[in-house]
Structure 1
Amino acid sequence: MHLMTFMEVTKPRWYECALVFTVQGVFFNAYFLAYLISPKLAHRVVGYLEEEAIHSYTEFLKELDKGNTENVPAPAITIDYCQLPPDSTLRDVVMVVRADEAHHRDVNNHFALNRNRLESSR
């Protein structure tokens, strides 16, 4: 949903969409193989990626607050999905997405740390 939100905001060209599609395909397959080899490692990698996303969204918020990036109205798709007020802005969306990424980070780190305990309890 995050991707759909920012694609709605940025209105990428066809080749940018193709690049995103390609990168997602490569990542999916690499993650699938990594998970087969070591679920703990796969969760840890995603936890680190989520941490980087949190940092990026924090920097983006700073740019919005400085006025370097226009704080446009939130896309309707995001307002509906995230149940935001109708007058929400891009800043509101970034706050919700950053919180969501923090939750994803915590869940993946939990699974990375507790994977051995889960397997030994079976």
Structure 2
Amino acid sequence: MHLMTFMEVSDPKWYERALVFAVQGVFFNAYFLGCIISPKFAHRVVGYLEEEAIHSYTEFLKELDNGNIQNVPAPPIAIDYWQLPPNSTLRDVVLAVRADEAHHGDVNHFASDIHYQGRQLKEAPAPLGYH
């Protein structure tokens, strides 16, 4: 959903879309192989990628706040998905996406920790209140 939202905002050219498609294909296959070889490692890597995404979105917010990036209206797809108010802006979308990334990072680190303990995820539901 993050990718689809930012594709709406940026309206990429055909070759930019092709590049995104190629990178997704490479990552999907590498992650699939990583999950087969070591789920613990694969989840940890994704947890760290999500942490880097949080940093990137924080920098994006700074650029929006400094006026270096135009704070355009949020696309309808984002408003619908994150149930944002109708007058939401790109800044509101970035805040929602950054929160998602934080959650994804926590979930992947949790999954890696469970695998590190030699357990399966189905044996260890996330504790109540876990984000």
TM-score, with structure 2 as normaliser: 0.90
User: What are structure 1's unaligned runs of at least 5 residues?
Assistant: none
Deviations 1:43-87 (A, max 9, x none): 000001100100000000000000110000000011011100000
What percent of counterpart residues are identical?
Answer: 74
- The aligned amino acid for 2:36 is L
Match in the other structure for 2:129: none
The structure with the greater share of residues assigned to helix is 1
TM-score (norm 1): 0.96
Query: Counterparts in 2 of 1:1-122, with a 5 A limit?
Result: 1-115=1-115, 116-119=117-120
Paired residue total: 121
Q: In 1, distance between residues paired with 2:57 and 2:119? A: 32
Question: Once the 2 structures are TM-superposed, how far is the Cα of residue 117 of structure 1 from its aligned partner?
Answer: 4.1
The structure with higher relative contact order (CA 8 Å, sep 6+) is: 1
Aligned residue identity for 1:109: H
Residue 114 (structure 1) shift: 1.4
Q: Which amino acid is 1:98 matched to?
A: R
Per-residue deviation, 1:26: 0.3
In 2: Cα distance, 1:9 partner to 1:45 partner: 28
